[in-house]
Amino acid sequence: MLAVAIAIAMSVLVTSLANIALPTIAHDLNATPAASIWVVNAYQLAVTVTLLPFASIGDIYGHRRVYIWGLAVYTAASLLCAIAPSLPVLVIGRVLQGFGGAGIMSVNGALVRFIFPRNELGRGIGFNALVVAGSSAAGPSVAAAVMSVFSWPWLFALQVPAGIAALWMSHRFLPSTPRTNHSFDPLSAVMNAVTFGLFITALDGIGRGQGAATVLIELGVSITVGWFFVHRQYTLPAPMLPVDLFRRPVFALSVATAICAHAAQLVAFVALPFYFQYVSGLSPIQIGILITPWPAALVVMAPIAGRLADRYSAGLLGGLGLFVMTLGLLLVLFLPHRPAQLDVAWRLAVCGIGFGFFQSPNNRLMIASAPRDRAGAGSGMLSTSRLLGQTTGSALVALLLGLTHDTNNGVELGTRLAIGMAAAFSGIAMILSTLRLRRPQSQSARAGLGERSNRMSLFDPVKRSRESGKPARSEVQTDGLDPRLRGDDETERAGPARSPPDRRPSA
């Protein structure tokens, strides 16, 4: 698990590191601020367009293999970024870093599923969430500390020895995972890249004030290709975009909940620094310290929620967590004009507690509700939903700040509108999470793996045949789903079929 933690921490940290160093990079490489944005965009786009293809490759060739190759590419690309003599070379290095990061993130959740016993999966997911939250919280501080002593290339160079250590541990300790016998679909990979790539580009264009015609064309092409992409997935036995998993209401609701919750979090993280700097007059260091209670509370709650997720429904835990997060965002929305820092800190801590209580159970449910031979698809969709939510939230904040820029107290108005929108996203996520409590099949994919349901006898053809006196059938579809689509929790809880006892008379 340490190998997984190091790699995922690197892939999360690198975004914060690049954001903090961007002005310095632009100055040292004689690049314009607009051109230097591609240091960030290149990584984000590369990750977005390759997450689902790498998840599919992980199901075919093994998650361990994809993870190790992704980590190797990421480490080599970090070295290229560290020695880059110009902005184009640095952007190429960042694209390669994105490919490597996608290899790591696409199968990360699937590997956690095979590392931990199924009755402790929530604990593993909670630890993973702790690493992600801790890395996000530490990112700005780590970047500031490194750049106070070294130059910006060291932000990338220091990742090389960490990557080598993670590679050694991955080769030595990561378990091999089952492989499927379906083939990779290159056309789906291309359509996936066009669909998600243009969608992210259009959202980024909205934030940067790009022309309406260009944004509409990008969105139009993305939606059109996306329609054909989804249609093609229904014809494949193991689709790259897991439409087979979306047939499970509990999985579809979990993805929608994740998108809305991550959008709410990013809206707050992007909007609040503008308010604190331009309205409250705080310095960047003070702003970083003031926002820290949110990720700090998340770090504390993630492992606790992960352990609870092994016993209680993710719909219940997620609904409670998102209720607390919504309440925290409303408290932030109604802050006084110039609040005391303590008033801000405890409200953000409430938001962090709520988000931490939601994240681990939701992630666990998304991974565990997929069959073992589709674990990569579930893991890839987990990362994709997080990225879509974050990108949407960031773009919407930029849009609101742009619309209110020319008004009186434009930053304050834009920030309050953004926080209100974050509370709305969080409230919608809360409703979506609680809807999972009304789905009978969600009980079989919930965190409480030790509980037995009488309904599960329907999935055991031998047991049912004993009760009814009728011969057992090889496949029973009581829920209207292909038995291959049942999650690991369902199939394993039913247990192997037992042969009737031998009743022949003894000699």
Residue 79 to residues 14, 38, 156, 194, 292, Cα–Cα distance (Å): 13, 18, 7, 29, 30
Q: What is the pLDDT of residues 351-374, one digit of tens each?
A: 989 998 888 888 888 877 777 777
Q: Across residues 435-459, what is the average pLDDT?
A: 45
Tell me, rounded to whole angstroms, the distance of Cα 205 from its chain centroid. Answer: 23
pLDDT of residue 280: 76
Q: What is the pLDDT of residues 247-285, one digit of tens each?
A: 888 888 889 999 999 889 888 887 888 788 777 777 766
Q: What is the pLDDT of residues 271-327, one digit of tens each?
A: 888 788 777 777 766 777 788 888 888 888 888 888 888 888 888 888 999 999 999
**Helix %, strand %, coil % of the chain (to 5):** 80, 0, 20
CB contact at 8 A, 307 and 126: yes
Q: Closest Cα to residue 425, out of 274, 270, 262, 315? A: 262
Compute, in degrees rounded to 10, the torsion defined by CA atoms 446, 450, 451, 456.
Answer: 80
Q: Which pair of structure tokens corresponds to residue 303?
A: 């492992």
With bands split at pLDDT 50, 70 and 90, how would you rate the model's confidence at 480? Answer: very low
Calculate what percentage of the chain has a pLDDT beyond 90: 13
Q: How far apart are CA 302 and CA 131, in angstroms?
A: 9
DSSP secondary structure code for residue 441 in this structure: G
* pTM for the model: 0.74
**Residues in Cβ contact with 231 at an 8 Å cutoff, skipping those fewer than 6 apart:** none
Compute, in degrees rounded to 10, the torsion defined by CA atoms 315, 321, 327, 332.
Answer: -130
DSSP secondary structure code for residue 263 in this structure: H
